[in-house]
Amino acid sequence: MQRIILYKQINNRWHYVRLTAMPHAELGIETGCCGQKPDHSETAEIPSNTDPQAALRQEGERWITQGYSKPHPHSLQVMTLHFQMRRWTGYPAGAPWYDDWTSGYLDPIQKVLDETCNGIPRGNERFSGNYLHYYTIFNTDLAQEAVEKIAAAAPLKFLLDIHIASREKQVHIPIDPNVPEYLRSLFRVVEKSARTIAHELPVLFPTDPLQPEFVPNGSANKRMVGEEAAHLRRTLKGKWNFDSNFWDPLTQAAPSEVVFLNGMAEEKKQAIAELLSQKLQEPLYLLDCETGLFEIDTDQIFGGSHEGMVFDASFEWVIYFSHHYTITFGGDWLVDAVKDLYLKQQELLNAW
């Protein structure tokens, strides 16, 4: 599906109109106060000879004439969620507290901000146990109230500071005390410049207010949490020596033969996905080292994970995606299938 969200300030409160091109040639129109669910919803039929994106833009133009728009990011406030976590040196999803943190805090916060059109993610950073997530927000008190309610209801508590201001909260990256003073000063200059550039990016790259954004058609992927997630992680560790972190299958990390490629043509990916759809034992899972453990569909196998592993309920095969853009296949029958697929291009297998 595609949608356009526009905003207008009325009596010191930001209001929104959310336009969504839905299945069956329908256009959804929702209006409300940012921070609250829609107070009015209606649907309109999209004419059969009209492209859904064109219908969205046309309806958006009508609301723009009524004063709705995309406000400049610098005219809005920024909410920083500053979590102070136990130190962890690997990828976030490998941390023992990660599933409780995301399911108790980040996922429900993102959900309520989306539902009420009161927050737009603008990045995050992490270092030395500091995890900072930034959102451009419209109605500050309602955003803070929503986050506080979610934090109060979270089953496992984490130390959270909510900071709302015109700019992101900044926490200095610690520098080893053994680093010479002149290098410490240079580092601080580079750090300040990088953050200034990041703050100015919305100005450097303005967007078309009527450019539709794509949204999932249906519910988001199911996140695996609790004992079920712990069981999947333990099994991956025991069977594939994968611990939700960087996996080096070309060493002793892989328990059996693997084959890897530096990228794949789309038709090859489609052939592997079709083969897996015939043989997999559902559910199908993705353990993304940055974002966690999810159930996915077969059309998401090659969805662009930078570091992570796809596997099914059998644990008999895996596909590992690395940040080096290599794709590694493990499991006897899957390795043989990949070799057969590249029978006339064997030079591409296991080649850097």
Read off the tokens for 101. 């943190």
Other Cβ atoms less than 10 A from the Cβ of 37: the count is: 12
Residues 12 and 90 occupy one common structural domain = no
How many angstroms separate the first and last alpha carbons of the chain?
39
Helical packing angle, 332-341 and 266-279, nearest 10°: 150
Looking at residue 176, what is its pLDDT? Answer: 60
Looking at residue 243, what is its pLDDT? Answer: 85
Chosen domain end from 38, 64, 90 = 64
CA-nearest of 28, 38, 35, 30 to 14 is 35
Residues 83 and 59 occupy one common structural domain = no
Q: Using omega within 30 degrees of 0 as the cis cutoff, is the peptide bond preceding 177 cis?
A: no
Tell me the torsion sign for CA atoms 291, 92, 305, 272.
negative
32, 138 Cβ separation under 8 angstroms = no
Range of the domain at 60: 2-64
Chosen domain end from 64, 81, 110 = 64
Looking at residue 38, what is its pLDDT? Answer: 96
Residues 274 and 251 occupy one common structural domain = yes
Looking at residue 206, what is its pLDDT? Answer: 54
C-alpha to C-alpha distance for 291 and 282, rounded to whole angstroms: 21
Read off the tokens for 49. 């000879």
Residues 79 and 126 occupy one common structural domain = yes
DSSP per-residue codes, 77-96: EEEEEEEE-----S-GGGST
Other Cβ atoms less than 10 A from the Cβ of 93: the count is: 20
3-state SS, one letter per residue, for 255-324? CCCEEEECCCCHHHHHHHHHHHHHHCCCCEEEEECCCEEEEECHHHCCCCCCCEEEEECCCCCEEEECCC
Residue 127, domain CATH: 3.30.70.1710
Residues 243 and 304 occupy one common structural domain = yes
140, 155 Cβ separation under 8 angstroms = no
Alpha helices (runs of H) in the chain, residue ranges in sequence order: 52-64, 98-101, 107-115, 140-153, 181-204, 226-240, 266-279, 332-341
Chosen domain end from 155, 171, 187 = 171
Looking at residue 341, what is its pLDDT? Answer: 93
pLDDT by position in tens, the chain (length 352): 889 999 999 999 999 999 999 888 899 999 999 999 999 999 999 888 888 899 999 999 999 999 999 998 889 999 999 999 988 888 899 898 999 999 999 999 999 999 999 999 998 988 888 999 999 999 999 999 999 999 999 999 999 999 999 998 888 666 566 767 666 666 566 666 666 666 665 554 457 888 888 876 555 788 998 889 999 999 999 999 898 888 877 667 778 888 999 888 899 999 999 999 998 899 999 999 999 999 998 888 988 767 899 999 999 999 999 888 889 999 999 999 999 999 988 888 888 7
Looking at residue 170, what is its pLDDT? Answer: 80
Whole-prediction pTM: 0.83
Torsion of CA 340, 341, 344, 346, to 10 degrees: -80
DSSP H or E run through 4? strand 2-10
Residues 48 and 88 occupy one common structural domain = no
Q: How many domains does the chain fold into? A: 3
Helical packing angle, 107-115 and 140-153, nearest 10°: 140
